[in-house]
Amino acid sequence: MAQKLARSEQEYKELYNQAQVALFRSRLSDGKLHECNHAMALLFGYKDKEECLAHYSPAAHHADPARCDELLKRLKKGKTVTGFHFEIIRCNGKRAWVAVTCKLDAERGYIEGFEVDITAAKVLTKTEKQILELIMQGKCNKETARILCRSIRTIEDHRSRIMRKLSAENMVELVQIAQSLNCPYEMRPKKPRKQDL
């Protein structure tokens, strides 16, 4: 029985740490992380969970402390909050937007939940989202221009703005950032339509 329980606990830890969504448990007293997974560490720019647990602090990573206060106020009022948006500052100083869903366990003194990177959905225009989707499908500027009935120069300008907004230094980095984002459905790569071929 003890062996089964130990194996079950180990499987749960592996599942938690390998989850693609950023999971966390933070102390109510100071906001420091009590537990997190690898995805949470990457979201804030840490190399791994251990580094994140050792160095994360709300003061260093939250662009607007008033939003943290608002989140706490809502949690104390209703015990759970879904899809609360706030801007974060990563370790490298780059900013991003996240949506947090969490619950308060006042008795044990912690908040636990998950965070999703919504930067693309928050900062990109509808056209930029369409272009990013086409980039993720491997379309070049010429193909994208044809599909969206725009000039190649316009597409190049949009790509530059997308890269700036998502803090990407080059196209490889842009694709990596886009792949790591939990984008809304309309931004996920889709199969090309017949008229796009």
Q: What are the tens digits of pLDDT across the range 92-136?
A: 898 999 999 999 999 999 999 999 999 888 889 999 999 999 998
Nearest alpha-carbon partner for 80 in 98, 101, 65: 101
Compute the distance between CA of residue 21 and CA of residue 167 in angstroms, rounded to an integer. Answer: 21
pLDDT reading at 145 higher than 80? yes
Q: Give the ranges where 19-151 is alpha helix by DSSP (H).
A: 38-43, 49-55, 58-61, 65-78, 119-123, 126-136, 141-148
What pLDDT does 193 receive?
42
Q: What is the pLDDT of residues 48-96, one digit of tens each?
A: 999 999 999 998 999 999 999 999 999 999 999 999 999 999 998 989 9
Which pLDDT does position 4 carry in this prediction? Answer: 76
**CA 116, chain centre distance (Å):** 4
Q: Give pLDDT, residue 181.
A: 64
Return the bridge partners of 24, or none: 36, 113
Give 184 or 144, the one with higher predicted confidence: 144
Alpha carbon distance 134, 142 (integer Å): 11
Q: Is the pTM of this model over 0.85?
A: no
| pLDDT higher than threshold 70 for residue 162 | yes
C-alpha to C-alpha distances, 175 to 27, 36, 89, 102, 115, nearest whole angstrom: 35, 26, 21, 29, 21
Q: Can you tell me the mean pLDDT for 180-188?
A: 47
80 forms beta bridges with 103
Could you tell me the domains of the chain? Answer: 20-117 (3.30.450.20), 121-196 (1.10.10.10)
